Structure 1
Amino acid sequence: MRISQPLSYRLDLPQQYPNSAPSAPLVLDSPHSGTAYPPDFAPAVAFGALRTAEDTWVDDLWGDAVDMGVPLIAAGFPRAYIDANRAPDEIDQLLLDQPWPGPVNASPKVKLGKGLIWRMLDDGTPLYDRKLTVEEVTHRIEACWKPYHAALGQVLDSAHQKFGKVWHINCHSMPSVAGAYATDRPGLVHPDFVLGDRDGSTSDPAFREFIATWLRERGYNVTVNDPYKGVELVRAFGRPAEGRHSLQIEINRNLYMDEVSLRPTANYGRLKSDLRDLTAALIDWTRSQTA
């Protein structure tokens, strides 16, 4: 079953969903896979450069989960338009033609030019040749950010209500080498996977350790909370004391695609198969935690 709201998100639900409740206490989301570029988006960079901001193929890599009984929500809008993995107060005032009327959080991501609305790409290329209006930013929040967060929250609530607990994977990709303006560690060569739970604050560490062990046993190089700890979505939805566990998973793009052409490589099928097997293992593991 597919539910979609134009522009904001696509929600893929397992066919066997009874009353919209999941068959396992596991939910996936991919906030940076959107490719629907809105007509009001007028950046000053070429379309090909914009696409480097996408988590290309991530929703498809995890897509087998839906047939296995696990819901997957993916953003329809691109991250370059508005970033669903930022807080709504992470406003970059350098982008605006007038002061923002609400609270402003000058977070490290904002200082990198990667706030709620990006100011530049990973290589430092400015996204705009003009200032944005408060009305433009407000529209993006109302049309994209809020519906995406609301839909994810509803799916997580449904699983939590049925099982008493829920485990959430926030799915991402990362370049093989960190860009000059991507993080505070430019030039870092990334491992195969980075698991982030904000140093154990968004999930019981057993969740990340189960996944880390599983991936390492299959030959992957995995780090935990280094260099990525997880950002807004795991922070907003991860409340382990309430049985709500959220983990960010970053996958090295070099594992599955050409980072210039964005086309899948010969290893794509192997990685997708491994993620399917990991999902099956997680279904069994999460069910055992609620038995």
Structure 2
Amino acid sequence: MEVTRGQSPLVLGLPHTGTDVPPDVADGLNETGRELADTDWHIQALYAGLVGDASTVRTTIHRYVIDVNRDPEGASLYPGQNTTSLCPVTDFDGQPIWKEGAAPDAAEIARRREAYHAPYHAALAAELERVRDIHGFAVLYDCHSIRSEIPFLFDGTLPDFNVGTDEGRTCAPSIQDSVHRRCEAAKGYSAILNGRFKGGWTTRHYGRPGEGLHAIQMELAQCTYMHESPPWDYAPDRADRLRPHLKTILDDLIRWRPE
């Protein structure tokens, strides 16, 4: 677990950038699983240094071990649509990631939930409470990315900026409007609000505007800042073009105050 404490109201969540897989878990992954293809590659580097005084909470554990952005009870975020589970059994292309007989059973899922999922959310909840105690409110910006074309999960090509607020439930309207407006104004990029990605479990769980907790998810198409095939290299020219737009979004969130 990595936690950086700032004094502003803004907290960045980084649930899917980790690549750590404990040896006992790694032994069960098949060749497909060992590629760790569904990592939110380089997101911590993309956002690094964009704004000062924001808090960050990051888990180093890979989502194939357990996905900390899923309901700990295993409920689907998108009923009726293809997705991956709390402890995934397939990758985003629908291909098995475990050797035959090695997928985690209920007892193993419970162990991983206690060992990795719970500590991440304990740290995130504590940081949100800490900054809310300072300012009277907190803003969680959940940082994500995904390949722009994944037929198993969605049709066609994903927009560059995918803003999720669970149809406006997880944050004040002015936060949603500010972020979406900045995305739409970014020349050369496409954007959508509450499209295929409406905010994961983290956004939906913590987003309680009536209690001074505001949450919004940003799912970036990975083509905007990296190469979308192994070895998943960072593309500095693309990232340098994108980072000023992300900085503007985060600057707005740091300055935001309840009306």
Normalising by structure 2, what TM-score? 0.90
Task: Tell me which moved more, 112-121 or 164-173.
Answer: 112-121
From 12, 20, 27, the counterpart of 2:4: 12
Instruction: Provide the rounded CA distance (Å) in 1 between the counterparts of 2:239 and 2:181.
Output: 21
Q: Which has the greater radius of gyration?
A: 1
Percent identical residues: 27
Match of 2:95?
125
Instruction: Name the SS for the 2:217 alignment partner.
Output: strand
The one-letter code sitting in structure 2 at the alignment partner of 1:283 is I
Using the TM superposition, give the Cα deviation of residue 34 of structure 1 relative to its aligned residue in structure 2, in angstroms: 0.5
Instruction: Provide the rounded CA distance (Å) in 1 between the counterparts of 2:77 and 2:210.
Output: 26
The one-letter code sitting in structure 1 at the alignment partner of 2:171 is S
The one-letter code sitting in structure 2 at the alignment partner of 1:268 is A
From 133, 140, 146, the counterpart of 2:112: 140
From 222, 230, 251, the counterpart of 1:280: 251
Match of 1:238?
207
Match of 1:249?
218
Consecutive unaligned residues of structure 2, counting only runs of 5 or more, are none
1:212–1:263: structure 2 CA closer, same or farther, 3 Å change rule? Answer: same
Match of 1:86?
70
The alignment covers a number of residue pairs equal to 253
The one-letter code sitting in structure 2 at the alignment partner of 1:264 is Y
Instruction: Name the SS for the 2:108 alignment partner.
Output: helix
Normalising by structure 1, what TM-score? 0.81
Using the TM superposition, give the Cα deviation of residue 244 of structure 1 relative to its aligned residue in structure 2, in angstroms: 0.8
Consecutive unaligned residues of structure 1, counting only runs of 5 or more, are 1-8, 14-21, 91-104
Match of 2:17?
33
Instruction: Provide the rounded CA distance (Å) in 1 between the counterparts of 2:179 and 2:81.
Output: 32
Match of 1:58?
43
From 112, 122, 139, the counterpart of 1:167: 139
From 219, 222, 233, the counterpart of 1:263: 233
Instruction: Name the SS for the 1:29 alignment partner.
Output: strand
Preserved contact between residue 82 and residue 144 of structure 1 (Cα < 8 Å)? yes
How large is the Cα RMSD of the aligned pairs?
2.1
Preserved contact between residue 120 and residue 126 of structure 1 (Cα < 8 Å)? yes
From 198, 202, 208, the counterpart of 1:229: 198
The one-letter code sitting in structure 1 at the alignment partner of 2:96 is P
1:107–1:193: structure 2 CA closer, same or farther, 3 Å change rule? Answer: closer
Instruction: Provide the rounded CA distance (Å) in 2 between the counterparts of 1:281 and 1:58.
Output: 20
Using the TM superposition, give the Cα deviation of residue 227 of structure 1 relative to its aligned residue in structure 2, in angstroms: 1.2
Instruction: Provide the rounded CA distance (Å) in 1 between the counterparts of 2:163 and 2:258.
Output: 23
The one-letter code sitting in structure 2 at the alignment partner of 1:168 is L
Post-superposition Cα deviations, 1:4-31, rounded to whole Å, max 9, x if no partner, equal xxxxx21123xxxxxxxx4211111010
